[in-house]
């Protein structure tokens, strides 16, 4: 299995809702990432987990809460989002020490719309 699977593919939520994005990989990778991509823009790093521990938080607002319950799963919990948070949320995985050299494996993303 050489894929990163993200669910759901599309999500529409209100500003008072609580929702979660899910990411799963079975490649034995021990580093997982959340990226946010606005339309016609490059991906921007949000969080990095290495060996199930949060290693990088790029000053992301607290309405985004990541969770890594085990080495195969990565969640992003969403609460009280704003319309400007609408974007494509991409998950990626890699080996921690070789992530930058090996390149990441990206999922297809969750298209989030906040109304």
Partner 1 sequence: AQSVTQLDSQVPVFEEAPVELRCNYSSSVSVYLFWYVQYPNQGLQLLLKYLSGSTLVKGINGFEAEFNKSQTSFHLRKPSVHISDTAEYFCAVGSIQGAQKLVFGQGTRLTINP
Interface residue list for partner 1 (CB under 8 A): 4, 6, 31, 40-45, 48, 50, 55-56, 90, 92, 94, 96, 99-101, 103-109, 111
Q: Does an H or E element contain 70, and which? A: strand 64-70
Tokens at 85, concatenated:
């948070």
| CB closer to partner 1 out of 16 and 39 | 39
Q: How far is the CB of 80 from partner 1 (least distance, A)?
A: 27
Reduced to 3 states, what is the DSSP secondary structure of residue 83?
Answer: helix
Name every residue whose Cβ is closer than 8 Å to that of residue 90 and which is 6 or more positions away in sequence: 6, 34, 35, 36, 37, 43, 106, 107, 109
Strands 87-94 and 105-106: antiparallel
Q: From the CB of 69, what's the least distance to partner 1, in Å?
A: 21
Quick one: 31 or 114, whose CB is closer to partner 1? Answer: 31
9 or 77, CB closer to partner 1?
Answer: 9
How many other CB atoms sit within 10 Å of the CB of residue 33? 25
Q: Which one, 65 or 108, has the nearer CB to partner 1?
A: 108
Distance of closest approach, residue 78 Cβ to partner 1, in angstroms: 19
We find the least distance from the C-beta atom of residue 17 to partner 1, in angstroms, to be: 23
């Amino acid at each position: 299995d050489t894929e990163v699977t993200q669910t759901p593919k599309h999500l529409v939520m209100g500003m008072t809702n609580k929702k979660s994005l899910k990411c799963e990989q079975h490649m034995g990778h021990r580093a997982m990432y959340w990226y946010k991509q606005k339309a016609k823009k490059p991906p921007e790093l949000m969080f990095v987990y290495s060996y199930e521990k949060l290693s990088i938080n790029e000053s992301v607002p607290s309405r985004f809460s990541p969770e890594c319950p085990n080495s195969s799963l990565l969640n992003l919990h969403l609460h009280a989002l704003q319309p400007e948070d609408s974007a494509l949320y991409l998950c990626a995985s890699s080996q921690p020490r070789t992530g930058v050299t090996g390149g990441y494996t990206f999922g297809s993303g969750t298209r989030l719309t906040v109304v």
